[in-house]
Structure 1
Amino acid sequence: MIQDKSVGSRLFNFTNTAILTIIALVTVLPFVHVLGSSFATGAEIASRSFLIFPTKFTLSAYKYIFSTDTILKSIGVSIFVTVVGTAWSMLMSTMTAYGLSRRDLPGRRYIMFFIIFTMLFNGGIIPTFIIVQKTGLLDSLAALIIPVSINVFNMIILKTFFQNLPSGLEESAKIDGAGDFAVLFRIVIPCSLPAIATISLFYGVTYWNTYMHAILYLSDAAKWPVQVLLRQIVVLATGISFDSAEYSDVPPPSQSVKMAVIVIATIPILIVYPFLQKHFAKGALLGSVKE
């Protein structure tokens, strides 16, 4: 029979559960407040400083936002940048990581040194801006993708994961006549799905939250991702223009509109996360084993 847990063990479990519950509440409650405020009336928002469940639900803020295509265009830009950027970054990171995982690669240690050097030192904003300008990427969505094609930390995780795969898999494939690309795409990647899913999530969140690069490189407001538009609405109270003929009702309170925009900008990435979360811990841990 399993012996009863000691008093110290039960006390530790209770304390651990209490601390994690408090952290979870501190993390979740602000978003619940934002969600509740987006459905609340102006009078209720003005009378309650912290609102979780509004007594009267209203969709006026969402109707107001979607009465123009500004938000939809911005979300479309963010989705395009996230999908294309994640696919491009995963292709570049995977191929780089696979090449560096090969111990017979000439100059492997020197290449790794220069790559890791970029984690510690970089040119800064002005040199990077000049490069983007001179290469013709300025004011294009490619400026949000190409300059950040590879994240060195993510690439190192993939490299370490590839090195931990059994060498017999590659040797067997090469005996059957497979080349390096065939080994990578038919053997290595299918065996590395936890790591691939984890790094894809990292890249996806990064591209979805693109803000600083959009501010620096995009002057056309029609190309703004949702995070930049969100800042215009929440901080500067601008960014959405309406025609009186399109929206004839009484506009909802600005606070309710701000909360609704935050919800709209947050929900897409929350929908994607659960599908990759099961691979997250496994992929990150397996790819972080020291070489």
Structure 2
Amino acid sequence: MVRGRSDRIFDLFIYVVLVLVAISAILPLLYVLSISLTPYSEVLKNGGFILFPKSITFDAYKELFADSVIPKAFWVTVFVTVVGSFINMVLTILMAYPLSRRKLRGRTFFLMIVVFTMLFSGGLIPTYLVVRDTGLMNTVWSMIVPSAIWTFNLLIMKSFFESLPEELHDSARIDGAGETTALIKLVLPLSIPSIMTVSLFYMVGHWNDFFSAVLYITNKELYPLQVIVRNLLLESSNLSQQTDVTLPTVTLQMAAVISASLPIILVYPFVQKHFTKGMLIGAIKG
């Protein structure tokens, strides 16, 4: 097929747009990283705007992690992310698989209930009262249990399970496999892209969540990393007040932002292939 001049112009336009979008996404992260690694004197010399520092220092990170608040908050966030995502995936798979079976009695009714939760929720106050009365206040489980299943992720998993050929289930039944065996030995190995996609959604959601902690946690020892970073950005924490003589608050703030963002940024390249495939397949059939 011969490509005309208009096609090449359109391709050039697309590339320009993609480059601009990439720059708009990279520049803020580069700015935050540069400020966190730049000595205070150079920050003042450049009016507070630096993209490529001439000299690098890790003093902000040393001061940030010298206090026990940040490491504790980091491990709380890691626990909530890992354990919470595991519980999310187990419950999501156990609910999505039966709903994907067209022969399930009452399937339409249960799907209507699931979709209903996307449109209407119990409300903030009733949810708070349930968490309080079940004894989850001031525990890490208050950041996991109330969001055990996300409806959107459940529908993605259900759509992926439905996209698998029915002949696979028929052959499994002929070989004497029940639904549990078919799920574990047949469906899950074929669902790795969707599982990785939904797992990434859950992990990012748990890692970035601070509202649940603000709502349910009053013990500062259980604050996740995002709450500490939020306090540092909005209120100037005790750590920044104690070190403001040698390190500017903004440097500590930027170091905290990088520390909170870096783990998810490092994880994403390893699941990008599965993430893209899972999103495409989940959108084909629903």
> In which range does the TM-score fall when normalised by the shorter chain?
over 0.9
CA RMSD of aligned residues (A): 1.7
Q: Distance in 1 between matches of 2:100 and 2:251?
A: 51
Aligned ranges 1:102-141 → 2 under 5 Å: 102-141=101-140
Q: How far apart in 2 are the matches of 1:137 and 1:105?
A: 34
TM-score (ref. length: structure 1): 0.94
SS across alignment from 1:184: helix
Partner residue of 1:26?
24
Matched with 2:142 is 143
User: Contact between 1:36 and 1:53, CA under 8 Å: does it hold in 2?
Assistant: yes
Matches within 5 A, 1:123-272: 123-238=122-237, 240=239, 251-272=246-267
Q: Secondary structure at the match of 2:246?
A: coil
Task: State whether structure 2 residue 274 is matched by structure 1 residue 276.
Answer: no
| 2:247 aligned partner, one-letter code | P
What residue number does 1:46 align with? Answer: 44
Give the drift of 1:172.
Answer: 1.8
Q: Which amino acid aligns with 2:270?
A: F
Among all aligned residue pairs of Structure 1 and Structure 2, give the percentage whose two residues are the same amino acid: 40
Partner of 2:6: 8
Work out whether residues 160 and 285 of structure 2, in 8 Å CA contact, stay in contact via their aligned partners in 1: no
Residue matched to 2:34? 36
By how many angstroms is 1:105 displaced? 1.1
Runs of 4+ in 1 over 4 A off after TM superposition: none
In 2, Cα distance between the equivalents of 1:69 and 1:176?
A: 57
Alpha-carbon distance between aligned partners in 2 of 1:262 and 1:119, rounded to the nearest angstrom: 31
Amino acid at match of 2:152: F
**Does residue 266 of structure 2 align to residue 289 of structure 1?**
no
Matched-pair contact (CA < 8 Å) for 2:137–2:216: yes
The answer to whether the Cα contact below 8 Å between 2:240 and 2:249 also exists between their aligned partners in 1 is no
Moved more, 84-93 or 68-77: 68-77
1:211 is displaced (CA, Å) by 0.9
Deviation at 1:103, TM superposition (A): 1.1
Q: Could you tell me which runs of 5 or more consecutive residues in structure 1 were left unpaired when the two chains were aligned.
A: none
Alpha carbons of structure 1 residues 164 and 44: separation in structure 2 relative to 1, 3 Å: same
Q: TM-score, normalised by structure 2?
A: 0.95
Alignment: residue pair count: 285
User: For residue 88 of structure 1, what is the amino acid of its counterpart?
Assistant: I
Q: What whole-Å deviation, never above 9, does each CA across 1:225-244 have from its counterpart, x for those lacking one? A: 111000011111015489x8
Checking the alignment, whether the CA contact within 8 Å between 1:232 and 1:239 is kept in structure 2 is no
Contact 2:99 2:111 in 1 (8 A): yes
